[in-house]
């Protein structure tokens, strides 16, 4: 009888050990299961800052005369900008850049045999940064009228920026997180499981493209400055535990 009881106890112990081991393996396996999803958020917005740049030059053999002409051009440009409604605080002129120009001479075999000085080239740039987009846009389209005064001005297209990018990014992250959770919950529900705790989250690339523009996304993040109306987007890759 004692021998029988001993065998019975051993058998029960073995069964319990196998059961506990199986339960432990099942628990570890289940706790290791995760759902990985990527949430996306987009938002259209309008730039609230504009930057315009123009460059003007003067050429001549006499350095002093060429410099005086550049400074006169600077004064004319400043007056024009003020008349267009742009304050001095929004205007920045660069220092004057000077280059000596030379024309190389060649022999019949195409070898350089010397050079001739052809005069000085003096250039300067002007930058306007403002939140009055309409005024600067109108000015940038009409400033080439200064060519009629003999000012060699090259006007670039305006660039557009947004002053509240950090707030925009935080808002998009919250929306991308909610989108990722909704996706994960849908997958878990269709799989007959319950969504557990968030295990990991990695922010993807923050992109700014022109609204309705056919722009390619960049691995490092596109940053459009040519469009006034823009679209910001962000992705968020998250891992959820499954219960």
The closest of 154, 132, 137, 92 to 227, measured between CA atoms, is: 137
Instruction: Give yes or no: residues 200 and 214 share one domain.
Output: yes
- Give the pLDDT score at 1: 52
Helix (H) or strand (E) holding 74: helix 63-83
Domain edge (last residue) among 93, 128, 161 = 161
142 and 189 belong to one structural domain: no
Which residue range is the domain that position 225 belongs to?
34-46+164-242
**For position 208, what pLDDT does the model report?**
94
User: Residue 230: which CATH number?
Assistant: 3.30.110.170
Query: Would you state the pLDDT for residue 25?
Result: 35
Mark whether 152 and 179 lie in a shared domain: no
3 state DSSP class of 31: helix
Asked which of 133, 161, 189 is the last residue of a domain, the reply is 161
Q: Are residues 188 and 222 in the same domain?
A: yes
Mean pLDDT per 10-residue segment, the chain (243 residues):
49 44 39 83 96 96 96 96 96 96 88 90 97 96 88 94 95 95 92 88 92 76 92 94 88
Q: According to the model, what pLDDT value does residue 124 have? A: 97
Same domain, 16 and 38: no
Query: Are both 61 and 137 inside the same structural domain?
Result: yes
Q: Of 144, 161, 178, which residue is a domain's last?
A: 161
One domain, residues 62 and 86: yes
Instruction: Please give the pLDDT value at position 184.
Output: 92
- The confidence score (pLDDT) of residue 210 equals 94
pLDDT at 23: 41
pTM of the model: 0.78
Tell whether 195 and 177 lie within a shared domain. Answer: yes
CB 102 within 8 A of CB 117: yes
Between CA 190 and CA 194 the distance in angstroms is 10
- Number of domains comprising the chain: 3
Whole-number Å distance between alpha carbons of 243 and 241: 7
How far CA 27 is from CA of 31, 88, 195, 242, in Å, comes to 6, 71, 16, 11
For residues 25 and 38, state if they share a domain: no
pLDDT of residue 32: 52
Judge if 7 and 86 occupy the same domain.
Answer: no
């Amino acid at each position: 009888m004692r021998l029988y009881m001993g065998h019975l106890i051993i058998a029960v112990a073995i069964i319990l050990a196998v059961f506990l081991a199986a339960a432990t393996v099942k628990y570890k396996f289940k706790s290791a299961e995760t759902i990985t999803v990527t949430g996306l958020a987009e938002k259209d917005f309008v730039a609230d800052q504009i930057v315009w740049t123009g460059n003007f030059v003067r050429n001549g053999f006499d350095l002093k005369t060429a410099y005086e002409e550049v400074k006169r051009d600077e004064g004319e440009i400043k007056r024009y900008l003020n008349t267009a409604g742009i304050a001095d605080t929004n205007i920045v002129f660069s220092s004057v850049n000077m280059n000596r120009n030379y024309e190389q001479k060649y022999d019949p075999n195409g070898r350089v045999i010397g050079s001739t000085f052809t005069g000085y080239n003096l250039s300067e740039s002007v930058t306007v940064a403002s939140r009055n987009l309409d005024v600067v846009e109108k000015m940038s389209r009409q400033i080439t009228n200064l060519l009629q005064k003999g000012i060699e001005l090259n006007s670039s297209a305006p660039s557009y920026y947004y002053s509240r990018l950090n707030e925009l990014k935080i808002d998009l992250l919250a929306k991308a997180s909610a989108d990722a959770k909704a996706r994960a919950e849908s997958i878990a529900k269709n799989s007959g499981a319950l969504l557990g705790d968030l295990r990991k989250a990695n922010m993807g690339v923050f992109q700014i493209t022109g609204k309705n523009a056919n722009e390619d996304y960049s691995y490092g993040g596109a940053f459009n400055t040519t469009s006034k109306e823009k679209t910001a987007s962000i992705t968020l890759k998250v891992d959820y535990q499954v219960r």
